[in-house]
A = this chain, B = another copy of it.
Amino acid sequence: MDCGLHLFLQVVQGKWKINLLWAIHSGIKRPGKLQRKIPNASRRVLDAQLNQLMEHGLIKKVVYDELPLKVEYELTELGESLIPVIRLTAQWGEDHRNELQHLLKL
């Protein structure tokens, strides 16, 4: 159990990784659109996080052979397998929304 938890944390820790996976799953696949979806992160930081997600096999980069060059990110099979897990975490947040907003002073 500890080992599974460790592996999960190894690949998703990093400030915007879960947000990026969720955004790509939601159909936001172009680098510029991901940046607009997560405006609090700099492009440099997002690129570094995207590279790590690729290195860890959760997403892949598809470069279309057209001009101007078109780049899109897609979830790999492994990345897709994380979606139900991320959905459950989001559901937990929704289920405790009032309490959490109060505690976080939002």
- How far apart are A44's CB and chain B's nearest CB, in angstroms? 20
Number of copies of this chain that the complex holds? 2
Out of B5, B11, B22, B87, name the residue touching A18 (CB < 8 Å).
Answer: B5
Are A82 and B93 also in contact (CB < 8 A) when A18-B9, A104-B10, A104-B56 are?
no
Among B78, B88, B94, point to the contact of A85 (Cβ < 8 A): B88
Check if A90 is an interface residue, CB within 8 A of chain B.
yes
Task: Give per-residue flags for A82-96: 1 if the beta carbon is below 8 A from chain B beta carbons, else 0.
Answer: 100111111111111
A 32-71 binary contact with B (CB < 8 Å = 1; else 0)? 0000000000000000000000011100000000000000
A interface residue numbers (CB < 8 A to B): 1-11, 13, 15, 18-19, 22, 55-57, 78, 81-82, 85-97, 99-101, 103-104
Q: List 24 A-B contacts (CB under 8 A).
A: A1-B94, A2-B90, A3-B97, A4-B89, A4-B91, A5-B86, A5-B89, A6-B93, A7-B94, A7-B100, A7-B101, A8-B92, A9-B18, A9-B89, A10-B104, A11-B100, A55-B103, A56-B100, A56-B103, A57-B99, A78-B96, A81-B95, A81-B96, A85-B89
